Amino acid sequence: MENLLEIDNLTFSRSGRVLYDDISLRIVKGKTTAIMGPSGIGKTTMLRLIGGQLKPDSGDIRFKGESIQDMSRNRLFTVRRQMSMLFQSGALFTDMTVYDNIAFPLREHTKLSESVIKTIVLLKLQAVGLRGAAHLMPAELSGGMARRAALARAIALDPELIMYDEPFGGQDPISMGVLVKLIKALNDALQLTSIVVTHDVTEVLTIADYIYILAEKKVIGSGTPEQIKQSDSPLVQQFLNGEADGPVPFHYPADKLENAFLGVK
């Protein structure tokens, strides 16, 4: 199987805090890969590293065999047209309608005529079920609709790689179901390669082909959903079952409570 994206020995730290320590990932072409982990381990940062918005301290991130951190700005911009990212908030441009939002990447990067753009935009909107909302402003959409509109924008240029940043976060069960179905359908129909960053275990297990679990700056488990479920790593099991305490401690590192009260240093 061909790897679209390869991450080797990545180390990254921000404001003095190490987020990743020597981790390696493989994203297989045409598959959906999930990156999971507890909050605050910098899952979004991983997507920004892949998109070239941040540079790793050491290690290598290769997109189609080409190292992203070594690219010139122009080359990076060219490569980014083949990838696309769905932000947690949707990040629709608030000063234009849904229609213009989706037409935006087409108008920026192609020389298509307005009538062709109209066809493409309406098709993409139809795919996410929002053709009727084309004339609305982003502020008039619900959270779930905004995310679907953003998804339509993300696929406007038919990218090869699409990155979802917490696509299910803060959604009601119906919107969540719609999004799960959409991501799955898009993946199958367009032969997209997807990276889903999330901590929603159950949804991910249904759509992912391969899962990486990050915690404590390392990859603590990886494999297909079946393999992950049967993992004997206590860390993985704690994460899957949502146990409050375990290898990932409930308490933020601190000295003993007695000491804090008694003033012992």
Partner 1 sequence: MQWLADIGHNTIDTVRSFGRAFLMLVGAIIAKPQLIKNTPLTIKQIYVVGVQSLLIIIVSGLFIGMVMALQGYTILVDYGAEGSLGPMVALSLLRELGPVVTALLFAGRAGSALTAEIGLMKATEQLSSLEMMAVDPLRRVVAPRLWAGIISMPMLALIFSAVGILGGHIVGVDWLGVDAGSYWSIMQSSVDWDKDIVNGIIKTFVFAFVITWIAIFKGYDSIPTSEGISKATTETVVFSSLAVLGLDFILTALMFGIE
Count of H helices and E strands in the chain? 10, 10
Q: Which of 65, 93, 140, 243 binds partner 1 (CB under 8 A)?
A: 93
Cβ nearer to partner 1, comparing 143 with 225 = 143
Exposure pattern of 241-265 as b/e (b: 16+ CB <10 Å)?
eeeeeeebeeeeeeeeeeeeeeeee
Cβ nearer to partner 1, comparing 11 with 89 = 89
CB 193 within 8 A of CB 162: yes
Q: Which of 4, 33, 49, 51 binds partner 1 (CB under 8 A)?
A: 51
Considering only 105-113, 182-190, 194-202, 217-225, which stretch makes contact with partner 1 by CB under 8 A? Answer: 105-113
Q: Is 109 left (phi over 0), alpha (psi -120 to 50) or beta?
A: alpha
CB 213 within 8 A of CB 239: yes
CB 45 within 8 A of CB 221: no
| Contact call for residue 191 and partner 1 (CB under 8 A) | no
Q: Which of 15, 72, 94, 115 binds partner 1 (CB under 8 A)?
A: 94
Considering only 19-27, 78-86, 169-177, 256-264, which stretch makes contact with partner 1 by CB under 8 A? Answer: 78-86
CB burial class (10 A; 0-12, 13-18, 19+) of residue 89?
middle
| Contact call for residue 64 and partner 1 (CB under 8 A) | no
What would the two tokens of residue 96 be? 């234009």
Q: Which of 65, 67, 77, 116 binds partner 1 (CB under 8 A)?
A: 77
CB 120 within 8 A of CB 101: no
| Contact call for residue 202 and partner 1 (CB under 8 A) | no
Site string for partner 1, 111-130 (x = CB under 8 A): --------------------
| Contact call for residue 170 and partner 1 (CB under 8 A) | no
Strand positions, DSSP E, 100-223: 161-165, 193-198, 210-215, 218-223
Q: Which of 34, 36, 85, 197 binds partner 1 (CB under 8 A)?
A: 85
Q: Which of 187, 173, 199, 155 is nearest to 38 (CA)?
A: 199
Considering only 77-85, 115-123, 126-134, 230-238, which stretch makes contact with partner 1 by CB under 8 A? Answer: 77-85
Q: How many residues bind partner 1 (CB under 8 A)?
A: 21
Considering only 75-83, 181-189, 221-229, 253-261, which stretch makes contact with partner 1 by CB under 8 A? Answer: 75-83
Q: Which residues contact 52 (CB under 8 A, 6 or more apart)?
A: 68, 69, 71, 76, 79, 80
Q: Which residues contact partner 1 (rule: CB under 8 A)?
A: 48, 51, 53, 77-78, 80-81, 83-85, 87-89, 91-94, 104-105, 108-109
